[in-house]
Amino acid sequence: MNRRDFLRTAGGAAGGASAVAAGAGTAAAQEHGGGGGGGSVQPVWPSYVSDANGPGYEDLRGQSEVTIEVGVGSSGFGYGPTTTWIDPGTTVIFEFVEPSHNVKPNSQPDGGGLAGTEGGEFATIPAGETYEATLETNGMYTYYCGPHEGQGMKGAIAVGGDVETEEVGGGGQTPLNPEHMGVPFHPHYVGISTIVMMVVSLLFTFFLLKYGESPNAKGGNN
């Protein structure tokens, strides 16, 4: 067996095992929320808007004015964004991008300032017009379009930090963490598997060089 060949091959095998271990360690760190991953917090929206049309949710806190478009989505029967989180005192501007719609309050906290557009339940606003409401009171507001509520044209606005919240988009179950092991479960397995991989790689390299066909092995070609 040639010592230089052994060291070169063993070093390559150990390096490969280390690279695999590093990748496994990174995956484990990500699985445990390393690197800033995980879900985001948003208000718990009422079931009233569970079937609402529109482009989804936006966190617009920190802005003094926000715009919600009226008449968006593939059907044109939606508010955009459908659900919104804002600070108290924010002015909400409903911008009518399509005709034949309105904004009517469904529910709001006591003292809420969402009066809705003028006229009756089916009085609509022309495209290009706006309706503004400044929402000072903390809580959950829901609203709808009178002519199209049945088609899912509904929305909700959460105001302030006192609303109920939940974490969404966490990406799966929480890993096991047995108390008797002292540290999280998966990192232990990563460490153990790394050691086993390195030992197996070194043993394989040793026997390959000792007994395999090589110009430097006993009985090999010169």
Residues within the annotated binding site for Cu cation?
101, 145, 148, 153
Which sign does the torsion angle of CA 12, 17, 20, 26 carry?
Answer: negative
* d(C-alpha 2, C-alpha 220), whole Å: 12
**Cα Rg of the chain, angstroms:** 31
Helix, coil or strand: residue 77? coil
Distance CA 30, CA 172 (A): 12
Q: How far apart are CA 165 and CA 162, in angstroms?
A: 9
Strands (E), 4-55: 40-43
Q: Could you tell me which residues are annotated as the binding site?
A: 101, 145, 148, 153
What order of strands is seen across the sheet that includes strand 83-86? 57-59, 83-86, 154-159, 139-144, 104-107
